[in-house]
Chain A
Amino acid sequence: MKKFSQLAVPYIIWAALMIVLPMLLILMYSFTEHGNSIISFAVTFDHYIKFFSDPDFLLVLWRSFTIAVKTTIICLLLGYPLAYFIARSAEKWQNILVLCITIPTWINMLVRTYAWIGLLSDGGLFAQILGFFGVEEVEILYTEFAVLLGMVYNFLPFMILQINTSLCKMDQNLLNASADLGATPFQTFWKVTFPLSLPGVINGITLVFLPAISAFFIPKLLGGGQYFLIGNLIENQFITVGEWNFGSAISMIMAAVMMLLMMLVKKLEVRNQGGKEDN
């Protein structure tokens, strides 16, 4: 197969141009002042200092982090039983259910989020249902609940599909072996099924947490302008304020936070050393 190694060369060049270079540019912008060019620039740490010295910015970062964590936890709590149910269904049903979960992800995220506005707004379907039960005047749209709902709605399929994949890959004989050794179904689940599905859970967490922490259109559409997350802050800097250098610095901070978290997760994964059948 050595003959094919030169096939990778065009992509290596492409990757350098389209992946590495943009990252370097963000890095460069984050350390320079407005008006600098790639040819002449002066390094400055001002943007980072500005971010870290202002508790308000840190609070935004913290809020983004907490809402992402909340989203992830809800997705995990809902996604695991659903994935488990699908994995334990008859094979014919498995495919249909997986398809049912996948189809909505094919419809544009914004379109789906937009659809929620009508459902959640005052006088919308939800308010009417709540009104029917005697709960009046509850505001749903433009609350944290709406933002969470939007995030869970958009990202839950990722969690389900990831966990389902890892559950389906599991050797049925391992579960038999556990029962054989005297474990009740409940014990089997906690001692065998769950630990072995951890790689899927971790993948799912990654796929939910990542977009959740950087989301900006979901909070903007469902949370209103008073819902300000780190993604909105970055968008704000680039689109409205025009502070690209500061925006780049925030982006770098966010990327760094993500990388750190991912490394932590990877560590966790290695420690659990599940998913051996992949190799």
Chain B
Amino acid sequence: MKKSSRPFGKILMILAIVFFYLPILYMIIFSFNEGKSLTTFTGFSLRWYQHMLESRDMMSALYTTFTVAILATLISTVVGTIAAIGLSSSKKLVRDVVEQVNNFPIMNPDIVTAIGFMLLFITFKVERGYVTMLLAHIAFCIPYVMLSVMPKVRSLDPNLADAAMDLGATPWVALTKVIVPQITPGIFSGALIAFTMSVDDFIISYFVTGGGVKNLSIMVYTMSKRVNPSINAVSTLVVVIITVALVIINVVPAIAAKRPKKAEMGKRKIAIPCTIGAVVVAGIIAIFALKPEVNSDLPYSGQTLYIYLPGEYMGEEIVPLFEEQTGATVIVENFDSNEQAYIKVTNGESYDIIIPSDYMIQRLMEEGYLQKIDKSLITVWNELDEAVLSPAFDPDNEYSVSYFWGTVGIVYDKTKVSEEDLKEQGFGIFLNEKYKGDIYVYDSERDSFMMALKDLGYSMNTENEAELQEAYEWLVQCVTTMDPEIVTDEIIDNMAQGRKALGLCYSGDATYIMSENENMGFYMPEEGTNRWYDSMVIPTTAESYVLAHEFMNFVNSYDMAYANSDWVGYTSPNLAVKEDLSSEEEEGSYAGINAYIPRTDHPLDEVFVFNEEVKKLMGNLWSKVKIAASNAK
């Protein structure tokens, strides 16, 4: 072959390499960023690595990812190889059928496979968690292993095994000493594919996991809505692990090959997996070692508290301090939405504390998924704000203890939006084409319909279909004429960065935004808005009932409530905390920020009431709004 310079190819190749590695490089660089921003580098720092190491969530995600990948690779390689050997000597009909069946997971979209597994585990009441994730990974890896082993097995001389047995080998020896060495390249590449698939998987893991077990993908997916540079740190760590593994795979054989003695050659084959194995085991031990030890003298040692709450919704030090004080282990699982929490809880997933919103508490209560709290065990009643006591959904505080509360309003850029417009139009400002392309709409049917209904002058709890239809049209008009971005928590960082002029926002998030960016303001329309309460409840499936009360007291005690509210930015139910955090004299973090003090005196403000029919209708209409938005682009 002649080698011409081929400049076009070279340039394309270089561009491709840049394309492939730029994001990875970018990620690595920003993992060392001092600030939180993903766009401006403010200085070198290792704080996100420290944060990562301190975050058990991340370390356990890392641990889950790699242990699942290694175990799934090992098991699926062994099983797949054996099955491939067995299959190749089976009848053609059997072989064809199994090959066809194996094609399902390969040829089906991942999401279908994932749903299949999820339904399987749910139907047969298999508790979802680490084991189910591992099983699913094994199941989808085996067909790939077989796909790469089968052709090698088929190309073998069919007399090979017979020859070995003729020479006195047992079938086992013939298999391990004759057949397997012949197909090693196939097995190796199969194992590699299996490992890649497993490490890379998100969709299947996402649907089959439970009990707070997360791998890296799930963690990134649930965390990525708010900028969290620790993800960069964790990703950088993954890149390092992969690179080290690659170096080991490529360099160790090279070094081994340089050894003069031939006798070493045999050992080399064992040496590589051994080295890799050793590194992996060492890594796992290191990760395990980071887990704090349980002090057995404490009152609740040995008990586990399962908490289920929205993502990024608790101060970082709360759980470690609680564990330190009680000796209990706390497992935190996050949900995306109240609806997701509802599905999990009603499917029998066991938690000790859930922190849903008002209407969802009402629904769970009505449907009998909650148990009453033992009021005598709650010691913090007298510290709580009057406003959070006796809410409409639980007037006697029989089921819930407040966690955070607030309102919904409009976050706006004071430099771009005139206050007159806001006062005149209220939520109607989201239809004002002056701000076209400069608004965020919150991706939640409840909040979007609230906005529309309030602007139309209706109750947000209306059951009138005509009114809902009107609201739907209002929203369609908004998404088709205003070119909004429909996002969820991304709104927080984007508004903090001042990227757009207007956005619908929870008061707590607005508090954070305003503390980050002084140009931002928070406005609660006179048309009324949604006042909401997120409270702690105990589901009937709870196993640590008393410990749950302990946590409720702990998290609402002054110090903890202060830390919690300070970190998250949401309004604390602890009256003293609320006052201190917003007070100028006390140098509270949220002094002068109106969003931190929820409006309690406006007659048009409402709390959500659950109505199944309305909810379904809203859900479907909202999907259609999004589709309309999608189609408008």
Contacts and interface: CB of A to CB of B under 8 A. Distances in A.
Contacts of A121: 38-39, 494, 499
A194 interface: no
Interface in B90-122: 90-91, 94, 98, 101-102, 104-105, 107-113, 115-120
B228 to A, nearest CB: 9
Contacts of B263: none
A31 interface: no
Secondary structure dominating the interface of A = helix
Interface string B1-43: 1010010111011001101111110110010000000111000
Nearest to A234: B111
A156 to B, nearest CB: 8
B217 A108 contact: yes
A214 interface: yes
Interface stretch (B320-328, B483-491, B584-592): B483-491
Contact of A8 (B10, B90, B217, B486): B90
A142 B98 contact: no
A225 B203 CA distance: 18
B112 A214 contact: yes
A103 B235 contact: no
Given A8-B90, A240-B337, A262-B107, A110 B101 contact: no
Nearest to B224: A114
B633 A144 contact: yes
Contact of A240 (B39, B336, B633): B336
B607 interface: no
A101 B26 CA distance: 18
A195 interface: no
Nearest to A115: B23
The bracket for how many chain B residues form the interface is 35 or more
Contacts of A20: 101, 104
Nearest to A154: B200
B112 A26 contact: yes
Interface stretch (B404-412, B575-583, B624-632): B624-632
Contacts of B479: 226
B464 interface: no
Nearest to B219: A110
B123 interface: yes
A89 to B, nearest CB: 9
Nearest to B347: A242
A114 B28 CA distance: 12
B171 A3 contact: yes
Contacts, number: 305
Contacts of B115: 22, 26, 234, 238, 247-248, 251
B453 to A, nearest CB: 20
Contacts of B160: 1
Contacts of B623: 56, 228, 233, 236, 241
Contact of B94 (A3, A8, A38, A252): A8
A42 interface: no
Interface string A205-249: 010001101101100010011111001011110111110100110
A255 B200 contact: no
A234 B235 CA distance: 28
A8 B83 contact: yes
A192 interface: no
A174 interface: no
Nearest to A2: B89
B267 to A, nearest CB: 25
Contact of B24 (A38, A107, A144, A206): A107
Nearest to A100: B17
Contacts of A115: 23-24, 26-27, 232, 235
A145 B633 CA distance: 11
Contact of A11 (B8, B109, B142, B242): B142
B83 A11 contact: yes
Contact of B630 (A63, A105, A258): A63
B119 A239 contact: no
B272 interface: no
Interface in B609-633: 619, 623-624, 626-631, 633
A23 B37 CA distance: 44
A157 interface: yes
A36 B151 CA distance: 44
B551 interface: no
Interface string B237-252: 0110010001000000
A109 B196 CA distance: 11
A108 to B, nearest CB: 5
Interface in A233-279: 233-236, 238-242, 244, 247-248, 251-252, 254-255, 258-259, 262, 278
B109 A258 contact: yes
Nearest to A90: B3
Contacts of B630: 60, 63, 226-228
A130 interface: no
Contact of A111 (B220, B494, B629): B220
B161 interface: yes
Nearest to B216: A108
A78 interface: yes
Contact of A226 (B98, B139, B629): B629
Interface in A99-123: 99-101, 103-112, 114-119, 121-123
Nearest to B246: A103
Contacts of B111: 214, 216, 231, 234-235, 251, 254
- In this complex, the member of B151, B231, B485 whose beta carbon has the largest number of chain A beta carbons within 10 angstroms is B485
With a 10 A CB-CB cut-off, give which of A3, A15, A227 has the most chain B CB atoms.
Answer: A15
Nearest to A63: B630
A115 B135 CA distance: 30
A116 B23 CA distance: 6
Contact of A23 (B12, B30, B104, B487): B104
B79 interface: yes
Interface stretch (B338-346, B384-392, B502-510): B338-346
Interface in A63-119: 63, 78, 81-82, 84-86, 88, 90, 97, 99-101, 103-112, 114-119
Interface in B486-524: 486-488, 490, 494, 497, 499
A228 B26 contact: no
Contacts of B487: 142, 224-225
6 closest A-B pairs by beta carbon, nearest first, are A22-B116, A7-B86, A214-B109, A8-B86, A118-B38, A11-B83
Interface of A: 1-12, 14-16, 18-23, 25-26, 29, 38, 56-57, 59-60, 63, 78, 81-82, 84-86, 88, 90, 97, 99-101, 103-112, 114-119, 121-125, 139, 142-144, 153, 156-157, 160, 172, 206, 210-211, 213-214, 216-217, 221, 224-228, 231, 233-236, 238-242, 244, 247-248, 251-252, 254-255, 258-259, 262, 278
Given A1-B88, A8-B98, 20 more contacts: A2-B89, A4-B171, A5-B90, A7-B82, A8-B90, A19-B104, A19-B139, A25-B120, A26-B115, A26-B119, A84-B9, A106-B199, A122-B497, A123-B40, A156-B16, A224-B490, A239-B343, A248-B119, A258-B107, A258-B108
7 contacts: A10-B79, A19-B105, A21-B120, A56-B628, A81-B9, A228-B629, A254-B112
Interface of B: 1, 3, 6, 8-10, 12-13, 16-17, 19-24, 26-27, 30, 38-40, 65, 79-80, 82-83, 85-91, 94, 98, 101-102, 104-105, 107-113, 115-120, 123, 135, 139, 142-143, 151, 158, 160-162, 165, 171, 175, 196, 199-200, 202-203, 207, 216-217, 220-221, 224, 231-232, 234-235, 238-239, 242, 246, 336-337, 339-340, 342-343, 437, 441, 443, 479, 484-488, 490, 494, 497, 499, 619, 623-624, 626-631, 633
